[in-house]
Amino acid sequence: MATRKKKTPDLNTLRFKTLKLQFKAGVATVSLNRPKELNAMNITMREELGECFEALRYDARVRAVVLTGAGKAFCAGGDVNDFNGTAAEDLHDLMRYKSHRWFSQVWNLPQPLIVAVNGTAAGGGANLALAGDVVIGSTEARFGETFVRIGIVPDLGGLFLLPRIVGLQRAKQMCFSGKVIDAQEALSLGLFSELTEPKELLARAQAIAADLARHPVKTIAAMKTMLNRSFETSMEEMLNLELFVQSFLFSTADHREALNAFLNRRAPKFK
C-alpha cells in the first residue's frame, strides 16, 4: 500500500498564535510572542515552533533566520502549567513527540540561525538560545540553567551543548546551582558572541543575518552540519566527510559563480 507523502508546510499559509514571523530580503525573523508569560513555551508554542522551522527549512527565499523574544524576556523556559498535575508518562510523550520534534527542526535548520537574547533566557529558553549558530545578547540579558529549581535535569540539548561551550566543570556548576548570570558573565563564558544595547539588538542580529545571507546557502548548510557533528566524529571520519561534501560543492553553480567572480575581481551573485 502506497504511503501518502507528507506535505511541506508553507510559510505563506501558516498562521501562529504564539509566534510572530517577518520576512525581508532573505532574512526571516521569528519572535516568541507570549510577552505576558515571559515567552514561556506552552504546548501551542512547541507545536508552532516545529511547523515554523520546518517551513523555513524548505522555503527557498529564506537564506538566514533570526530568533528573538517579544517584550522583556527571551524565553523563561517551559510553561509549568503544562507540567503541573500531568502524569509522568504523559510528560514523556510531550517531550518525545512535541519538544524533541521542534527542537530537532531548530538544531538541524540548514540556514544560519542568529539568536538575539533580549532578556531572560532560563531553563529551556537558555538551551533554545544555545542552539543558535551566532548568539548575541542585550546588555540586559540574563542566562540560567534553572532546571534544578523544579527538580529536573536540563533538556533541549542543554547537557550536550553547554559543556561544549563553557567547559565541563563550569557547566556542572551552572546546572547544579541553577544560578542566573548576567549578560557580561555570559559573554565572558562564550555563551554570547557579543553584547549590544537593548534598542540596537534586533537590528544588529538582522544585520548579521543579512551578511550571512549573501553567502552560498549549500556551502553554509554543509559547514553547519559538519561543525555540529565535529565533537562526535573522528578525524578520519571528518576527512572522509570533507572529501564527499567538497566533491559535491565543486559541482554546484554557486561554486562556479564564486570562482568566476574571484578571478574577475567582482562580487558574486548567488542564486
Predicted pLDDT of residue 1: 47
177 to 38, 46, 170, 193, 265: CA distances (angstroms): 22, 27, 11, 24, 55
172/119 Cα distance (integer angstroms): 23
- Cα angle at 149 between 144 and 154, to 5 degrees? 60
Q: Which domains does the chain have, with CATH numbers?
A: 19-213 (3.90.226.10), 217-263 (1.10.12)
Predicted pLDDT of residue 102: 87
Q: What is the enclosing helix (H) or strand (E) of 207? A: helix 201-213
Q: What is the enclosing helix (H) or strand (E) of 170? A: helix 168-177
Q: Are 75 and 144 in contact (CB under 8 A)?
A: no
Residue with cell 506535505: 7
Predicted pLDDT of residue 266: 84
123/267 Cα distance (integer angstroms): 43
What pTM, to 2 d.p., does this model score? 0.90
110/219 Cα distance (integer angstroms): 10
- Alpha helix (H) residue ranges in 13-156: 43-58, 88-94, 100-107, 124-130
Predicted pLDDT of residue 74: 98
Residue with cell 562526535: 232
Predicted pLDDT of residue 187: 98
Per-position pLDDT tens, the chain of length 271: 455 556 677 777 788 999 999 999 999 999 999 999 999 999 899 999 999 999 999 999 999 999 999 999 999 998 877 776 666 676 666 666 667 788 999 999 999 999 999 999 999 999 999 999 999 999 999 999 999 998 889 999 999 999 999 999 999 999 999 999 999 999 999 999 999 999 999 999 999 999 999 999 999 999 999 999 998 899 999 999 999 998 888 888 888 888 888 888 888 888 7
